[in-house]
């Protein structure tokens, strides 16, 4: 009966990652992934009366608080809740995945030592859990956009799928990389928490994109010969968030406002930035996956 089975060779060499073959193996293990995500969600909301509603409360409270705060402080951004949430939800997916993804291999030491399965499943399940929250929260935001009369902006909305895929690729790449790194060097987890804090403020989520552009000298200011805005755009999350902003917030300059909120550039420019981010993230994913795969053979010994 094993005549049809494939022969696997295991040696001291860390095996080379063949993406197509590995994807097939992951596809065969997809039920472990689904079951782990289901488990995490169930455990997260077990014995809580409201269950997944808690995940929805988070953006709802943000909506309420920031509608109020924006009015009081006059933050200078019209329809601030839409601006804030369209970027913040993407950030939440990113940071939640990274946080639990980095711990994924460590926290499941017992499984890693005793069960043979594709180790990628562990950080991927962390991303999966964050993705479910992202979907729920995005539904709340969508509802708000439609019900409040803010409305959708049609050509811009086409950026959403591209931004989403970019966000996902970037998140998976970094989660894989950090989980493998954290299995070896436990400091990485602590470092990551601090890095995420800085990273959050280096990304235009709370403040207007245009403020950065203005500070950077509207594309003319340079530092060591490099345009300062380009330096800011090196942060891949800036590209992703700019994509989400353009897709959902829509206006570069809101009606009746004097100064722009988003980067004062064309839709094609933003699409270009997101595309570049996607390409870089894909390269990053291949490298991170390769690193994870070559390290994964030693996980059972290192934990």
Partner 1 sequence: MSSLANALAIEVRDVSKRFRIYREKPTSLKQRLLTSRSRAEDFWALRHVALDVGEGSTFGLIGHNGSGKTTLLKCVAGILRPTSGAILQRGRLAALLELGAGFHPELTGRENVYLNASFLGLSRKQTDAAFDDIVAFAELEQFIDTEVKFYSSGMLVRLGFAVAVHVEPDVLLIDEVLAVGDEAFQAKCLNRVREFQREGRTIVLVTHALDTVTEICDRAAMLHHGELHAIGMPAEVVREMRHVLLGMADPGFVPEQGTREAEIVEVQIVRPDGSSHGAILSGDPLTIVVDVRQNEPVDDLDVDFAVHESTNYLVLDARTSRAGIDLGRFDKKRVRFKIQGFPYDPGKYWVTIGLSSRTTGHLYHVQTQRYLFEVFDAPRAQERVEVPVGMEVEDL
Query: Interface with partner 1 by CB under 8 A: which range of 37-45, 80-88, 96-104, 285-293?
Result: 37-45
C-alpha radius of gyration, the chain, whole number? 21
In the block, tokens 């053979």 appear at 297
Nearer to partner 1, 107 or 214 (CB): 107
CA atoms of 159 and 248, how far apart (whole Å): 9
Among 84, 93, 105, 111, binds partner 1 (CB under 8 A): 111
Among 20, 47, 149, 255, binds partner 1 (CB under 8 A): 47
CA atoms of 204 and 253, how far apart (whole Å): 16
The DSSP code sequence of 172-203 is HHHHHHHHHHHHH-THHHHHHHHHHHHHHHTS
In contact, 85 and 59? CB cutoff 8 Å: yes
Q: Indicate whether 220 belongs to the interface with partner 1 (CB under 8 A).
A: no
Q: Indicate whether 24 belongs to the interface with partner 1 (CB under 8 A).
A: no
List the x/- string, 165-204, binding to partner 1 by CB under 8 A: -------------------xxxxx----------------
Nearer to partner 1, 190 or 286 (CB): 190
Among 110, 198, 220, 224, binds partner 1 (CB under 8 A): 110
Q: Indicate whether 27 belongs to the interface with partner 1 (CB under 8 A).
A: no
CA atoms of 205 and 218, how far apart (whole Å): 19
Q: Indicate whether 42 belongs to the interface with partner 1 (CB under 8 A).
A: yes
Query: Interface with partner 1 by CB under 8 A: which range of 85-93, 135-143, 249-257, 293-301?
Result: 293-301
What number of chain residues touch partner 1 (CB under 8 A)?
41
Q: Indicate whether 147 belongs to the interface with partner 1 (CB under 8 A).
A: no
16 is written with which tokens?
């080379």
CA atoms of 139 and 142, how far apart (whole Å): 5
Compute the least distance from the CB of residue 94 to partner 1, in Å. Answer: 24
Q: Indicate whether 31 belongs to the interface with partner 1 (CB under 8 A).
A: yes
Closest CA to 126 of 44, 46, 54, 29: 44
In contact, 303 and 20? CB cutoff 8 Å: no
In contact, 65 and 146? CB cutoff 8 Å: no
**Chain residues 116-135 in contact with partner 1, contact rule CB under 8 A:** 116-117
Q: Indicate whether 114 belongs to the interface with partner 1 (CB under 8 A).
A: yes
Distance of CA 91 to the CA centre of its chain: 6
Nearer to partner 1, 254 or 297 (CB): 297
CA atoms of 121 and 32, how far apart (whole Å): 7
∠ CA 168-19-13, rounded to 5°: 120
Residues in the chain: 303
Q: Indicate whether 1 belongs to the interface with partner 1 (CB under 8 A).
A: yes
Element (H, E) at 289: helix 267-296
Please tell me what DSSP assigns to residue 14. Answer: P
Query: Interface with partner 1 by CB under 8 A: which range of 66-74, 143-151, 263-271, 292-300?
Result: 292-300
Q: Indicate whether 113 belongs to the interface with partner 1 (CB under 8 A).
A: yes
Report the interface residues with partner 1, using CB under 8 A: 1-3, 5-12, 14, 29, 31-32, 34-36, 38-39, 42-43, 46-47, 110-117, 184-188, 297-298, 300-301
């Amino acid at each position: 009966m094993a005549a049809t089975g494939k022969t696997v060779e295991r040696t001291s060499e860390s095996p080379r990652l063949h993406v197509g073959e590995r994807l097939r193996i992951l596809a065969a293990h997809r039920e472990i992934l689904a079951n782990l995500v289901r488990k995490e969600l169930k455990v997260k909301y077990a014995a809580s009366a409201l269950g997944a509603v808690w995940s929805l409360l988070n953006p709802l409270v943000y909506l309420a608080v920031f509608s109020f705060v924006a009015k009081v402080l006059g933050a200078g951004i019209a329809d601030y809740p839409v601006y804030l949430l369209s970027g913040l939800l993407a950030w939440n997916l990113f940071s939640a995945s990274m946080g639990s993804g980095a711990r994924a291999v460590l926290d499941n030491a017992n499984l890693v030592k005793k069960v043979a399965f594709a180790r990628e499943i562990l950080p991927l399940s962390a991303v999966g859990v964050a993705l479910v929250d992202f979907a729920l929260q995005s539904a709340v935001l969508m509802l708000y956009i439609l019900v409040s009369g803010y409305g959708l902006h049609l050509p811009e909305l086409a950026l959403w799928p591209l931004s989403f895929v970019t966000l996902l690729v970037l998140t998976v790449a970094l989660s894989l990389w950090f989980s493998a790194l954290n299995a070896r060097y436990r400091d990485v987890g602590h470092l990551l928490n601090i890095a995420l804090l800085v990273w959050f403020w280096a990304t235009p989520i709370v403040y207007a994109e245009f403020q950065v552009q203005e500070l950077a000298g509207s594309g003319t200011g340079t530092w060591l010969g490099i345009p300062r805005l380009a330096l800011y755009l090196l942060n891949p999350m800036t590209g992703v968030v700019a994509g989400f902003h353009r897709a959902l917030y829509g206006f570069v300059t809101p009606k009746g406002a004097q100064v722009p909120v988003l980067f004062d550039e064309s839709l094609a420019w933003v699409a270009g930035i997101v595309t570049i981010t996607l390409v870089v993230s894909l390269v990053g994913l291949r490298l991170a996956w390769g690193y994870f795969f070559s390290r994964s053979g030693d996980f059972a010994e290192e934990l």
